[in-house]
Every structure is written in C-alpha cells, then in structure tokens.
Amino acid sequence: MTTQPLKPRTLFEKVWDNHVVVSPTGEPTILYIDLQLVHEVTSPQAFDGLRLAGRKLRNPARHIATVDHNVPTSSIEARLHIVDQIASAQVNALRKNCAEFGIEFFDVQDSRQGIVHMIGPELGATKPGMTIVCGDSHTSTHGAFGALAFGIGTSEVEHVMATQTLPQSKPKTFRINVEGELPYGVTAKDIILDIIGRIGTAGATGYAVEYAGSAIRALSMEGRMTICNMSIEAGARAGMIAPDEKTFAYLKGRRFAPGTAPINLVSPDARPANPDLGTTTDDYEAQWNLAVEQWRALVTDEGATFDRELTIDATKLAPSVTWGTSPGMVTTIDGKVPVLTDAKDDADRKGFERAYEYMDLKPGMPMEEVAVDAVFIGSCTNGRIEDLRAAATVVKGHKVATTVRAMVVPGSQAVKAQAEEEGLDLVFKSAGFEWREPGCSMCLGMNPDILQPGERCASTSNRNFEGRQGRGGRTHLLSPEMAAAAAVTGHLTDVRNWKFNEA
C-alpha cells in the first residue's frame, strides 16, 4: 500500500525528497547520490585529493568510468597510442585511478565505451528516480529517464567519491509544456533550440525544468535525451521528463536494470535487493515489475505547482539553426540572420555585432545562403542510433558536396555496432562521409577533430561558443537531418524541401 502524499508534489520534488540525508536550516541540503559517472577530464584532481587525504571511495559500485573527450576517433591505432601528451596523461590517469579505487572502467576499445552520457542509459545505469552526477555539464541528459541529474565541479566529484553525498541548495521548479504534433521535418533538437531562443541562455538559471506535454510524450527516449541534454544551455540546474512505458521498454533487460539476470556483481542500482525474492527467472521478472511499479509514481501530481510555467505550441515550430555564438542566437532555417533592431537591449546589440564579425555573417542574410566547410554528426546531443538513422535517410543516394568535409561519429561503441549492423556506415561512407570511432570528437576542441580558423561547420552538437570546435572555427547548431542535408548541398538547407533518393 502506498501512502498518499500530504501535498501534491512535482516529479523533481519527489526525487529530491527521496534523497535528502539531512536538511539543516539555513544550509544546503545533503543529498544522497545514487550514481556518479566519471570521465578523464574532470576526475584526475579528485582522485589526487582522495589519495592525499588517504581516503577510499565510499561506494565504488555507484561509479562507472569511461574515456570520451580526449580520445582520437580516426582509428583504433590512434586511440591506443594517443600522441597528445595531456590527453594521453589524462586517459592513463583514469585507467590507473579506476584500477586503484575499484571503479568499473570502459577503456577505448571496450564494447561499452562511449560518451559518458550515452553509456549511462545504454547500460541501464541511468534509471528513473535516481540522483546522478558527473563532472560534466551535460549530465542533464539523464533527466530524460526521470532522474535528477546534474553536472558538478571537480571538488564536488571528490566529495561524492568520498561520501556518496553532495551539499545542494534546492532549485526552483519550472515546467515547460510542449503541446501538439510536431510538423514534418521538426525534431527534438528543434524544440530545445527554440526553447533556448525564447527564454535565453540564462532563462532557466536556478530552476530544475520538467518538460511535459503531448509533444514530449510523443518523443522517443533518444529525442527526450536530446532535449534534457541541452537544458544546461538554458542555464537550468537539471532537466527532467517523467518516466512512462517508453522509458520502461528502453530499460528492460539492460545490464544494470533491475531484474536483469544474471544479477551483476557491480550494480549501481539504487534499490536494495528485496529479501523476499530469490534468484530464479520468475524472481527477476518480479523484481522488474516491482521497480516499474515504483517508477510509475514518479510523475508530477495533479495540482502540484511550479515556480514558473511556459507552454509552447509544437505545431508552430520549424527546423532551428543557430546563427551566432551562443545557443540562444537561433532562428529558423527559413529565417534570416537577425538585424540589429531585433536586439532586445544594448547588451544584446553588442553581442549581435560581435557575433556578426566572428561568424562572418551579414545582418539580414537568409540562413539557407550560408555555405559550410564541414559537417559534424555526433555528440551526446545527437550521436544516438535514431539520429544516425535520420541522417542516413537524408544522405542515402546522395553525395557529400565537394566543398565539404563531413563526418559521422557514433556517440558510443553500442551505437557504432548497431549502425554497422543496419548498414548505415555504408550509406555514409559511399556518400563521402568519414565514419569514425566513438567519442566527443568535434563537439569540442580537446582532441584531433577540430576546425581550422575561419572554417564553418554545421554541427549536431550543443555549443557554438567562439572556438568551441577549434580556434577561429564557426559553428551552426542544428538537427542530424539538417546537418545531413547541409553536407549534400554545401550550405544550410531546409530539410522540409528535401528530395529523398531511395536509390
């Protein structure tokens, strides 16, 4: 029997309340953390700190680690012998630290390696109702499963390693309802870019956002992850979506999912084993059913209130593309680079002027006239199987423009293997795309995949700051479908007018 809550609560409040260790008046709450994800860039100092203090991990089984940011994607050889000294030192340090502290580690060639925000869900380590942290801002991705997931700094990484808890002040709540059917050619990426364009890159600062409404319910888990992934680009502490049948179907049978036989020795599953349940197949099914029953309660109660609410009409959306140097500088593909009088205030005007110059764009220029030198399909925003399928459908039977360097970088080994099984690699390669090994790649300039100064890229990633993809590089954020179309035509292209070629 479940007890009725006294007051209707939001999804966020339920997950938060379930993890409060202690909440002293006037001080941050101490939250229990179910899972910490670890990558090579933000972990070395945390491990060093533990060593200095002579501490162990409080619970190594609630950590999983992989390498993603620094690893070259060009060949297996390049990954096994990393030339860059910093990258090689960070990757080696993670290998050594995981062995020393007892963390399960997925190395460059492991079939479970991938961008840290890809592998959590793939392994079923990301589950509804959990608290999940990582020294990485795009940890918000995991909120797509109804988890409270957020990025933390390196000293906090150390704190979680040592105590499995984290001091946190409670964010306010913000519900964004996206209602109605998405028009043809409009994707999850376009929804989130539109939201950031509306509310601005600080629009959700201080809030935990819940995405709701029929358009969000209609999205696949992949699409929901794309949306939650970019919550941080609107300044949000976290982004969440209530779990439903799609969430449960996605998780069933995954390695760390409850009731997956054989029970794993190292399991970050938050729920203690039910002592009444044994280890037969029937019992596994019962464990799964029990988990799903508990997960079903993770919805915002009727009558619960949010500090802020916004409703968006999905039927009015068009494919989005950024024109400037922040994800909020966004318009639609049939739109134009905004003119100065479109700026809201002085600060905005200064930002526009600087962006025109950095991006080498003229105010009022139609977006479809912007020619690109490079196309990057990948990242923890859009490097999933569904993204690659969508891009391949656009590319099939076409060739990459001779003026464009295009690459597809699967977000994980699992996605790469699945795509190859479906023959998507052949579609891309025969069109002239490079087909790479998994990692963050050109999402950020921390590995050999970078733009040259002045080069312009249509990118499915999540950040378009100055120099993000390499010094002097220019980034236009868009969906995988739109990136694929730009690769073929050599300029930003409205995928709604695309001539699909089934040849």
Pick out the residues of the known binding site for [4Fe-4S] cluster.
380, 440, 443
Exactly one of 461, 464, 469, 479 binds ligand SF4 (CB under 6 A); which one?
A: 461
Q: Does 138 bind ligand IPM (CB under 6 A)?
A: yes
Q: Residue 212's CB: how many other CB atoms inside 10 A?
A: 22
Stretch that binds ligand IPM, among 132-140, 167-175, 311-319, 422-430 (CB under 6 A): 132-140
Fill in the per-residue mask, 297 to 336: x = in contact with ligand IPM (CB under 6 A), - = not in contact.
----------------------------------------
Q: Does 34 bind ligand IPM (CB under 6 A)?
A: no
Nearest to 295 by CA among 146, 107, 96, 459: 146
Pairing state between β 434-435 and 29-32: unpaired
| Nearest-angstrom CA–CA distance, 343 and 349 | 5
Amino acid at 62: R
Out of ligand IPM, ligand SF4, none, which partner does residue 215 contact, by CB within 5 to 8 A per kind? none
**Six-digit token string for 383:** 């490097």
Q: Does 126 bind ligand SF4 (CB under 6 A)?
A: no
Residue 396, CA distances (Å) to 296, 393, 430 in order: 40, 5, 9
Out of ligand IPM, ligand SF4, none, which partner does residue 44 contact, by CB within 5 to 8 A per kind? none
- Cβ-contact 94, 15 below 8 angstroms: no
Q: Does 462 bind ligand SF4 (CB under 6 A)?
A: yes
Question: Among residues 338 and 383, whose Cβ is nearest to ligand SF4?
Answer: 383
Stretch that binds ligand SF4, among 53-61, 277-285, 337-345, 440-448 (CB under 6 A): 440-448
**Six-digit token string for 64:** 């999983």
Q: What letter does residue 218 receive in the DSSP assignment?
A: T
- Cβ-contact 142, 132 below 8 angstroms: yes
Q: Does 380 bind ligand SF4 (CB under 6 A)?
A: yes
Q: Does 138 bind ligand SF4 (CB under 6 A)?
A: yes
- Cβ-contact 128, 117 below 8 angstroms: no
Q: Does 132 bind ligand IPM (CB under 6 A)?
A: no
**Six-digit token string for 461:** 């990633």
- Cβ-contact 226, 382 below 8 angstroms: yes
Q: Does 154 bind ligand IPM (CB under 6 A)?
A: no
Q: Does 134 bind ligand SF4 (CB under 6 A)?
A: no
Fill in the per-residue mask, 86 to 125: x = in contact with ligand SF4 (CB under 6 A), - = not in contact.
-----------------------------x-x--------
- Cβ-contact 335, 369 below 8 angstroms: no
Nearest to 477 by CA among 462, 465, 490, 492: 462
Residues at the site binding ligand IPM, with contacts judged by CB under 6 A: 41-42, 69, 136-138, 151, 444
List of residues contacting ligand SF4 (CB under 6 A): 68-69, 115, 117, 136, 138, 379-380, 440, 443-444, 461-462
